[in-house]
Amino acid sequence: MTQQNRVWFITGASRGFGRIWTEAALERGDQVVATARKLESIADFKEKYGDQVLTLELDVTNAGQVKEAVNKAHQHFGKLDIVLNNAGYSLVGTIEEASADEIRALYETNILGPVSVIQAALPILREQGFGHILGTSSNLGHFTLPVIGYYSSSKWAFEAIHESLAEEIKQFGIKVTIIEPGAYATEFGSQDSLKFAQSLDVYQDFKSEFMKTIQSFERGNPNATPQALFKVVDAENPPLRFHLGSHNLPQVKSVYADRISLWEAWDDISSAAQGS
């Protein structure tokens, strides 16, 4: 059963899934705190939806600003039903090419930023006795691809954090769901959502072939996703992990079948290492 008049707190609301889900939530009558690095990038929400939306400038890597924004959101609407961590980007570069500063910056946005939001929101959600924390991960939270290995690694960490979180906070009546999109035709591949490590000549051919492969992926329609998201947030018992798209499950099944086969092939040696 759909529950109306929810209050959402959404990061990364200026483009991609964040923008689509913000507008869809507003269209169904919910209230939304929409945040983005640049306030002007989400000003149109305020113009169109008025008091139904609160727009805030937010850099998720600034923990102080995160806490202030979450508290302001709670004071404005009186509650927080859904906290959706959506802000993030991808670093393009091989493991050898990316610098420590580039990797650190990626993790600051993709891992520590969401953690700051979660830590700021939890005291409010605990006091309420309800709430639903959503995090936008990726199908790459289960396997990885070359050239975007650091991005994939950030999603592996993101998944582990949310899985632990779910067990820790269910005692307070708070739910957790990891949203795992496959390839979609969003702005995620745009220059605003990608950063590139300095290139080494030795990887040029390999990366060129990889980018051709990436570009050939069948992409889903992001505008088809809101109803699926609403079914998750309206469910009495929402899933911890939720795939967006039709290609994810076959991919993950294949990956895990290969892993299990490999572990089984080495199991005698692994078991012998247990000792007696």
Q: At what angle do helices 100-107 and 149-169 cross, to 10 degrees?
A: 30
What SS3 class is residue 221?
Answer: coil
Distance CA 24, CA 231 (A): 13
DSSP secondary structure, 72-83, as one string: HHHHHHS--SEE
User: pTM (2 decimals)?
Assistant: 0.94
pLDDT in tens, 150-177: 999 999 999 999 999 999 999 999 999 9
Is position 137 annotated as part of the catalytic site? yes
Find the largest Cα–Cα distance for the chain: 70
User: Could you tell me if 155 and 138 are in contact, meaning their C-beta atoms sit under 8 angstroms apart?
Assistant: yes
Among 89, 155, 175, 184, the active-site one is: 155
| Rounded percentage of the chain residues whose pLDDT exceeds 90 | 89
Confidence of residue 2 (pLDDT cuts 50, 70, 90): very low
Query: Where do runs of H (alpha helix) occur along the chain?
Result: 16-27, 43-49, 63-77, 100-107, 113-128, 149-169, 204-215, 226-234, 248-265, 267-272
Using one digit for the tens of pLDDT, what is the confidence trace for 110-131? 999 999 999 999 999 999 999 9
Structural domains in the chain, CATH included, are 7-245 (3.40.50.720)
Secondary structure element (H or E) that encloses residue 172, with its range: none
Report the DSSP beta bridge partners of residue 136: 179
pLDDT band at 191 (very low <50, low <70, confident <90, very high): low
Query: Which residue out of 90, 137, 138, 153 is catalytically annotated?
Result: 137
In contact, 223 and 118? CB cutoff 8 Å: no
Residue holding tokens 């632990």? 164
Average pLDDT over the chain, rounded to an integer: 94
Active site residue 14: no
Among residues 151, 152, 154, 184, the one annotated as catalytic is 151
Distance, CA of 147 to CA of 210 (rounded, Å): 8
Active site residue 107: no
- 3-class DSSP state for residue 32? strand
pLDDT tens-place string over residues 51-74: 999 999 999 999 999 999 999 999
SS3 219: coil
Q: 109: closest CA among 146, 68, 69, 157?
A: 157
